[in-house]
Structure 1
Amino acid sequence: MGRPALIAGNIAVENRRARHDYSIQETLEAGIMLAGTEVKTLRTGRANLADAFAGQQEGELYLFNAYIPEYQVKTVFTHETRRPRKLLVHRKELRRLLMAVTREGMTLVPLSIFFNPRGIAKVQLGLAKGRKTHDKRAAEKERDWQRDKARLMRDRG
């Protein structure tokens, strides 16, 4: 599965490092429970998913270590910047994901946080397998070759 058809400009934050460090097997979309100030901060695009991961806690799926800074306009209501945030997925999907994580040694990596057409924040999760250093080099080499090949074909006509 590829990336979902997202409208340009509604991605709040993207984890570019994830596609380099992991081989993404499958992607899925999940809802995320956020506080009001977190949503306002995400709309400004000030968040970081570099060290974030998804996992199980008390039978639920949570997003851990995602950094959403405090809202700049100081209010009485602030949020903790790296708190666990609950992810909303169907129970059947949750069982399948947790089974893949425990049995096959895969990881749930957040690829991006975006706003859907209705303005609701969603997380794109990737069911991923970690890459070794030589795999990363091979993937980079293949990507460079595809880019050069496209350039040659374009120049030739």
Structure 2
Amino acid sequence: MAKKNTFDKIINIKNKKASYEFEFIDTFKAGLVLRGSEIKSIREGKVSLTEAYCYFKGEELFIKQMHIAPYTLATHYNHDPVRERKLLLQKQELRKLQNKFSEKGLSIVPVRIYINDRGLAKMEIALAKGKKIHDKRQSIKEKDAKRDLQRMAF
């Protein structure tokens, strides 16, 4: 009987700032083109998505300003922490995203990065629209009310 690969540490890094700043319209799961030391740093959980954003270069989708800390045990062949990385999506998803992205006021935001059950790094991206100030206040009120309900339950 074959053993199934299971990883001890579950990696699920979220971009909390994105849900506060944007209203998500549609979400997609994308693969990442990484170098060897980058995946090792992701497995250690040393990734920051707060300043990251996605853009199209021709027909391909790239992510910029995603910070992956250098791997401590790597030699002088370590990676650049904030280099732009290519995102892997199916052609029909790319076309759909590019058509929606051309509309005014929409942007593509990284929501979270995780390691799937096969050990591959995946990123969840969202087609998003920026929130107004009153929308942000409303989301803060909802979050506070939810927290108060959880406190009363205990």
Q: How would you bin the TM-score normalised by the shorter chain?
A: 0.7 to 0.9
Deviation of 1:76 (Å): 3.1
Determine the structure 2 residue equivalent to 1:114: 114
SS of the equivalent of 1:70 reads: coil
Letter in 1 for 2:40: K
Measure the CA separation in 2 of the matches of 1:145 and 1:113.
28
Q: Does 1:53 align with 2:53?
A: yes
User: Contact 2:105–2:130 (CA<8 Å) still a contact in 1?
Assistant: no
User: Contact 1:111–1:125 (CA<8 Å) still a contact in 2?
Assistant: yes
Determine the structure 2 residue equivalent to 1:94: 94
Deviation of 1:104 (Å): 4.5
Q: Does 1:144 align with 2:144?
A: yes
Correspondence list, 1:1-157, <5 A = 9-149=9-149, 154=153
Determine the structure 2 residue equivalent to 1:4: none
Measure the CA separation in 1 of the matches of 2:17 and 2:66.
14
Q: Determine what percentage of the aligned residue pairs are the same residue.
A: 36
TM-score using structure 2 length: 0.87
Measure the CA separation in 2 of the matches of 1:109 and 1:35.
22
SS of the equivalent of 1:143 reads: helix
Measure the CA separation in 2 of the matches of 1:32 and 1:69.
16
Structure 1 residues 78 and 139 mapped into 2: Cα distance closer, same or farther (>3 Å)? Answer: same
Unmatched 5+ stretches in structure 2 = 1-6
SS of the equivalent of 1:117 reads: coil
SS of the equivalent of 1:73 reads: coil
CA RMSD of aligned residues (A): 2.0
> Size of the alignment, in residue pairs?
148
Structure 1 residues 8 and 78 mapped into 2: Cα distance closer, same or farther (>3 Å)? Answer: closer
Deviation of 1:8 (Å): 9.9
TM-score using structure 1 length: 0.85
Letter in 2 for 1:45: G
